[in-house]
């Protein structure tokens, strides 16, 4: 029974990685051929403003916390997701949730789908439609959709303002990290720890900029 569970876990994760990776490369290739858009122009680590990134990370965390409290107040079902318990599953989950998902899902949704929609719709409708699709694709229950829609709009705003996919990828990474850290930390404290890091980091970066 245990072997079957592990095998099913491995198969589902590998299948997810393969599918998302193939779709991601298909999106990149389609945009390059039809729209003459090069993905590398939107993946610029060197142009990352740490202060701005910390602001978006702080805002994303605040929105997540507030929306979680809202769905609790509305007595909607829990958004808790079953996560792996053993070290092998934790590592596998980390690779899937914190590496492949942030990179390729942002390319597929925040970049590919948005660029396609924006050719026919205005910017704001394109952003909202992209975020709605992203939220419903990850459908767990209605409160999960509400939370994902809220933070997805923040992630998309970071891309819209900077034209750099690295911002939403990093924000997506920290959001997904809780699925792995739930085995190591108290999940209820995760976002508050992240908020503290953001505040300290923001103060440090601002201080350094003022000195320079």
Instruction: Give the chain's residues under pLDDT 50.
Output: 1-2, 5-6, 79, 81, 83-84
Dihedral sign, CA of 142, 149, 46, 199? negative
Predicted confidence at residue 77, as pLDDT, reads 54
Number of domains in the chain: 1
Task: Give the residue numbers spanning the domain of 151.
Answer: 2-211
pTM here? Answer: 0.84
Predicted confidence at residue 65, as pLDDT, reads 86
Query: What phi, psi does 81 have (nearest 5°)?
Result: -110, 135
Predicted confidence at residue 18, as pLDDT, reads 82
Asked if 146 and 67 count as a contact pair (C-beta separation under 8 A), the reply is yes
C-alpha separations of 210 from 25, 203, 205, 206, 207 in Å: 42, 11, 9, 6, 5
Nearest-CA neighbor of 135 among 150, 115, 125?
150
Residue whose structure tokens are 């072997």: 3
Predicted confidence at residue 2, as pLDDT, reads 44
Q: How far apart are the first and last CA of the chain?
A: 61
């Amino acid at each position: 029974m245990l072997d079957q569970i592990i095998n099913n876990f491995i198969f589902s994760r590998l299948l997810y990685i393969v599918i998302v990776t193939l779709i991601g490369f298909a999106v990149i290739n389609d945009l390059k051929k039809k729209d003459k858009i090069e993905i590398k122009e939107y993946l610029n680590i060197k142009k990352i403003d740490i202060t701005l990134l910390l602001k978006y990370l702080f805002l994303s965390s605040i929105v997540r916390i507030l929306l979680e409290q809202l769905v609790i107040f509305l007595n909607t079902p829990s958004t808790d997701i079953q996560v792996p318990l053993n070290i092998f599953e934790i590592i596998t989950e980390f690779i899937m949730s914190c590496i492949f998902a942030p990179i390729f899902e942002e390319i597929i949704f925040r970049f590919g789908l948005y660029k396609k929609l924006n050719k026919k719709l205005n910017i704001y409708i394109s952003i909202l439609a992209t975020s709605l699709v992203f939220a419903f694709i990850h459908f767990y229950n209605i409160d999960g959709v509400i939370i994902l829609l809220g933070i997805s709009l923040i992630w998309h705003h970071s891309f819209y303002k900077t034209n750099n996919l690295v911002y939403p990828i990093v924000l997506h990474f920290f959001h997904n990290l809780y699925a792995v850290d739930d085995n190591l930390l108290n999940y209820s404290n995760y976002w508050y720890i992240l908020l503290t890091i953001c505040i300290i980091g923001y103060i440090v970066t601002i201080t350094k900029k003022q000195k320079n």
